[in-house]
Amino acid sequence: MKKNIILSGVGGQGILSIATVIGEAATQCGLHLKQAEVHGMSQRGGDVQSNLRLSTEPIYSDLIPMGQADLIISMEPMEALRYLPYLNKDGWIVSSSKPLVNIPNYPDESDLMAELKALPHTTTCDIEVLAKDNGIPKSANMILLGMAAKAIDILTPQQLLDAIARVFAAKGEKVVNDNIQAFDIGQKIAS
């Protein structure tokens, strides 16, 4: 079994934290893992992208070929569409519905959402508002991971939750609990 995942977003949104959680879960489960990251102007506002390849068999390349991604998890809708050529015909996109307008010629929001909704397998939600409404404004990325959990079928939701607890343990119990709560909210959205 294998799973090719592209994570995308803008610097500062927490894409690399999602990659860390998935990678931690995969490592603890004994899966083979390859990861490649691109950090554009990632400190704030630039493109951030990560290829995650998980498999029960050895993996020889860390880059996902065109048309071979099973899942795109994106903190930003335009960034999700940027990697569409990599998605296979049965692949899923799980994305925030709220754009982060960081360029002057950013596409029209309704056009972006229409393009995403026209795809056969897409789940979107305004995760930033949901995180703020639930008192966990720094955990929007874990809401997104929860939304994607079912599509990451090489790992169980419990394995991802256990990884969240390990990854955020050094930041204290409140941070762990906030991120677990966020993941649970995301799972409810996707079900």
Determine the Cα–Cα distance for residues 129 and 75; give it in Å rounded to an integer. Answer: 13
> Residue 95's pLDDT is what?
96
Coil, strand or helix at 16 = helix
Q: What is the per-residue pLDDT across 20-49, written as a single tens digit (0 to 9) for each?
A: 999 999 999 999 999 987 655 545 567 788
SS3 18: helix
* Domains contained in the chain, number: 1
d(CA 136, CA 182) in angstroms, rounded, equals 7
CATH for 72 = 3.40.920.10
pLDDT tens profile 111-160: 988 999 999 999 999 999 999 999 999 999 999 999 999 999 999 999 99
Give the model confidence (pLDDT) of 173-186 as tens digits: 999 999 999 999 99
Pair 92, 72: CB distance under 8 Å = yes
> Quick check: 107 pLDDT over 90?
no
The predicted structure's pLDDT at residue 191: 76
Domain extent for 76: 2-99+107-190
Can you give the pTM of this predicted structure? Answer: 0.92
pLDDT confidence of 2, banded at 50, 70, 90?
A: very high
